[in-house]
Amino acid sequence: MEIVKYPDRKDWKALTERATLDVTTLFDTVRGVLDDVRTQGDTALRKYEKLFDKVDLKELRVTPEEIQEAHALVPDELKQAILQAKQNIAAFHASQRFEGHKVQTAPGVTCWQKAVPIEKVGLYIPGGTAPLFSTVLMLAVPARIAGCREIVLCTPPNPEGKVHPAILYAADVAGVDCICKVGGSQAIAAMAYGTESVPKVYKIFGPGNQYVTAAKQWVSLREVAIDMPAGPSEVEVIADGNAHPEFIAADFLSQAEHGVDSQALLLTTEENIVPPVVEAIQKQLEALPRRDITEKALAHSRIIVLKDWAEVIDFTNLYAPEHLIIQTDNYQTLAEQVQNAGSIFMGPYTPESAGDYASGTNHTLPTNGYAHAYSGVNLDSFIKKMTFQEITPDGIAHLGDTIRTMAAHEHLDAHRNAVSVRLESLGKK
Amino acid sequence: MEIVKYPDRKDWKALTERATLDVTTLFDTVRGVLDDVRTQGDTALRKYEKLFDKVDLKELRVTPEEIQEAHALVPDELKQAILQAKQNIAAFHASQRFEGHKVQTAPGVTCWQKAVPIEKVGLYIPGGTAPLFSTVLMLAVPARIAGCREIVLCTPPNPEGKVHPAILYAADVAGVDCICKVGGSQAIAAMAYGTESVPKVYKIFGPGNQYVTAAKQWVSLREVAIDMPAGPSEVEVIADGNAHPEFIAADFLSQAEHGVDSQALLLTTEENIVPPVVEAIQKQLEALPRRDITEKALAHSRIIVLKDWAEVIDFTNLYAPEHLIIQTDNYQTLAEQVQNAGSIFMGPYTPESAGDYASGTNHTLPTNGYAHAYSGVNLDSFIKKMTFQEITPDGIAHLGDTIRTMAAHEHLDAHRNAVSVRLESLGKK
């Protein structure tokens, strides 16, 4: 963990560097898999599941019996938690519903937008030791609220050919239509192109390793939309002298445990809090099971002391953190000045883990500085806004010359003519 | 122009095929230019402007004097038209402003979204014979309404080193901050990486040839966001027996004149209208200056007769046209059933050219079936929605066990601990 005091502005850029991987270098690796799945469908999926997930699958789709079994296997305490989280996520995302209204932009010219769900969406949920049922909720609950007609979920099975019951339970209660036992870049290909077992979708969501990310990027160039480019997770904590060192340390570590590439930054104007925070981090770290991962992530994490709040805000807007936790007396004022961040956690009793699981906000957020231009996943991610317009005969008579003049100066005569034939039919020139 | 009557559903997919180019094959070509601009800045821009645009530029930025000159050169009639179009575009996009509201998802847990403008955006305007000042308005007007702080525009100069006055005039009245004389993939690189003269931006918008498109796709993999993947323009017209063959023909041709890859489809349930429409197309075509281009586009355009309106809607949703013009008695009913289209033009007096120029809707729309998943450019394209949350001590006491249970089952102990340290400080376990 690096501690930097009062850095010059010219050195700030270097302090915002993340550990990222250029997945474009993996395109050649994943394209073989993508092409195989596109041309050979389920046969290729079975081949790659055998190769990468060490499992020989007859049936690629999860059966209703397996879902019933999962309901019986998930402990009641976890079921209750999942249902509570689902309810809060649903409440927040339902509040984001878009209602367009008609606007008369000129006499007789009416324009409006309408939100229409993306018909078919695909969710990717990684495998590994931890079952990411929370991500199932974060993607499937808004998809259902948006009105997507078909929600497909792909996730790698374990070597016994099973999917973790908590993932199946969350997918079932969130309303996923079709769960397929496919992982890695072959899962992305399956949802992008469609196979006998896996329906083709129009947009793919969800986290994954570097091969999954490369495959998502590649298919997004032609076949499908994706949620956003992905990178390692990160948090920035802003704290003042009154912040609780234990809380800061806990938030720091809860980011660092995600993976060796994760990054945590602490920005403060008060150098006195640095020693107690460092001490609290050391103490809490000792009790953590994922200590190895966490220590590696701390190696490229930083505590940065700046001279005033204006510098803190400027640095934050430069870094554009995925998660931003503000634990200062003036947290409301500071939060209002942030221009670039994925999700902001305000005040001492708002840990990032609340938003990761259960407060209702989405945890799929822009990393790697993408918060400069991207929103996190929200209800908009599952819809598109179509525009409509209706023009009356009087409207085209009024607006016609404006259109014809512009078309003529862009040398687009047929565009001009499309107005002229209408004006002529109305007895105008 | 192909005329297809009552095709089988199994043949529909083939009838929705577009003439597209796989720009990923151009990545190797454009990467050399991108790398040069990234490492050599303005020097590389000058080199490529000499090579591709045959112009030796000292100053890459348009000067205030050149803008004044443009004001004098643009004819008054065109100025008035541009100002009228600007006003309508502003009215429609201003109506799209997002106001988030606070939602209490659980006791003591408050979540909300806030729209924040993307700080710096880049607009690309192609060169060529026709000055696309309408596209300047379509991109710069919403950017200004969204509140973007810096709007950069790149466009190739002519061999005299000048930019068309109508482009400069439109950019000036729309509020562009910085106009640079750079075109092609080097312009995309300049805005993605930044050079001495061209500011780095966070999102790039605008049309372009295949090299521009390939460059946009490539930089979107890491450096910046882009508006959407691009393809040739297209229109679908739906007409019944009462539709005016002259109007249909004019709309068909106004699409076809865009370029040799453009596509126009006519869907109808009434085969009697086919001969008069074909005749009107022939007649109007003869009078068009861009007849060569238009005829090539017509070669892959189609008139398709289907058996009922249900088939027309199903085909439309499969095709997902960029522009959809509905000229039928029941146009309102049909428009409501469309799920996949960029922009819909309703009724006989609503030509596509209205939306292309002056009704107020945006003309930057998803082509190539991307309307299945993408919106056209709208105010959302220039903002991101950040999420905020604030939890009270009672709120975390209420929600804490839900979070801790979920974190424990995902094996993320530090996430659980971030809640525990807070509950302990409140005297709870």
DSSP letters spanning B329-354: TTHHHHHHH--S-SEEEESTT--HHH
Model pLDDT for residues B180-196, shown as the tens digit of each residue: 999 999 999 999 999 99
Q: Find residues 372-411 of chain B whose CB sits inside 8 Å of chain A.
A: 372-376, 378, 380, 384-393, 395-396, 399, 401-403, 405-407, 409-411
* pLDDT above 90 (res A416): yes
Model pLDDT for residues A86-144, shown as the tens digit of each residue: 999 999 999 999 999 999 999 999 999 999 999 999 999 998 778 999 999 999 999 99
Is A391:A108 a contact under the CB 8 Å cutoff? yes
Nearest to B389 among A77, A294, A346 (CB): A346
Q: How many residues does chain B have?
A: 429
Mean pLDDT in residue range A193-222: 95
Residue B403, pLDDT score: 98
Cβ count near B16 (within 10 Å): 18
Helix (H, G, I), strand (E, B) or coil at A390: strand
Residue A429, pLDDT score: 65
* pLDDT above 80 (res A428): no
Q: For residue B310, which amino acid is it?
A: A
Mean pLDDT in residue range A291-313: 93
- Please state whether beta strands A103-106 and A109-117 pair in parallel, antiparallel, or not at all (unpaired): antiparallel
* pLDDT above 70 (res A349): yes
Nearest partner of A233 among A89, A353, A380, A75, judged by Cα:
A353
Instruction: Identify from A73, A89, A322, A421 which residue to disrupt to test chain B contact, counting B C-beta atoms within 10 A and taking the largest count.
Output: A421
Is B254:A415 a contact under the CB 8 Å cutoff? yes
What band does B429 get if pLDDT is binned at 50, 70 and 90?
low
Query: Is A71 a catalytic site residue?
Result: no
Give the single-character DSSP code of A61: B
Residue A333 phi, psi dihedral angles, 5° rounding? -60, -45
Report the DSSP beta bridge partners of residue B167: none
Residue B151, pLDDT score: 98
Sheet holding B203-205, edge to edge: B178-181, B150-155, B120-124, B203-205, B225-226
Tokens of A257: 């445990």
Burial class (CB in 10 A: 0-12, 13-18, 19+), B39: exposed
Rounded CA-CA distance A105/B85 in Å is 10
* pLDDT above 90 (res B246): yes
From residue B286, give the alpha-carbon distance in Å to each of A76, A423, B281. Answer: 75, 20, 9
Tokens of A32: 């073989």
Domains and CATH numbers, chain B: 2-20+231-360 (3.40.50.1980), 23-226 (3.40.50.1980), 392-425 (1.20.5.1300)
* pLDDT above 90 (res B20): no
Q: Find residues 302-321 of chain A whose CB sits inside 8 Å of chain B.
A: 317
Residue B239 phi, psi dihedral angles, 5° rounding? -140, 150
Residue B258, pLDDT score: 86
Rounded CA-CA distance B396/B423 in Å is 7
Rounded CA-CA distance A209/B233 in Å is 36
* pLDDT above 90 (res A338): yes
Residue A112, pLDDT score: 98
Sheet holding A302-305, edge to edge: A2-5, A302-305, A263-268, A234-239, A323-327, A343-346, B383-391, B109-117, B103-106
Rounded CA-CA distance A296/B75 in Å is 65
Between A130 and A59, whose confidence is greater?
A: A59
Tokens of B127: 């060169």
* pLDDT above 80 (res A334): yes
Burial class (CB in 10 A: 0-12, 13-18, 19+), B148: buried
Residue among A322, A336, A390, A409 flagged as catalytic: A322
Tokens of B124: 């690309």
B209 touches chain A (CB under 8 A): no
Model pLDDT for residues A26-43, shown as the tens digit of each residue: 998 999 999 999 999 999
Tokens of A113: 């937008």
Is B155:B167 a contact under the CB 8 Å cutoff? yes
Sheet holding A150-155, edge to edge: A178-181, A150-155, A120-124, A203-205, A225-226
Contacting residues for A52 by C-beta, under 8 A, at least 6 apart = A156, A183, A184, A186
* pLDDT above 90 (res B68): yes
Mean pLDDT in residue range A398-410: 97
Mean pLDDT in residue range A307-331: 98
Q: For residue A332, which amino acid is it?
A: Q
Mean pLDDT in residue range A260-285: 95
Rounded-to-10 torsion of CA A87, A88, A90, A95: 140
Using a cut of 0.90, tell me whether the model's pTM lies above it. Answer: yes
B85 touches chain A (CB under 8 A): yes
Nearest partner of B362 among A419, A109, A386, A408, judged by Cα:
A386
Report the DSSP beta bridge partners of residue B362: none
Q: For residue B82, which amino acid is it?
A: I
A229 touches chain B (CB under 8 A): yes
Contacting residues for A365 by C-beta, under 8 A, at least 6 apart = A322, A323, A342, A343, A371, A376, A377
* pLDDT above 90 (res B126): yes
Q: Among A304-313, B139-148, B208-217, where is mean pLDDT lowest?
A: B208-217
Mean pLDDT in residue range B407-411: 95
Please answer yes or no on whether A406 and B374 come within 8 Å at the CB atom: no
Tokens of B178: 């910085």
Residue B163, pLDDT score: 96
Which ranges of B228-308 does DSSP label H, i.e. alpha helix?
245-256, 274-286, 291-299
Q: For residue A223, which amino acid is it?
A: E
Rounded CA-CA distance B287/B280 in Å is 11
Q: pLDDT averaged over chain A?
A: 95
Residue among A323, A336, A390, A409 flagged as catalytic: A323
Rounded CA-CA distance B197/B184 in Å is 16
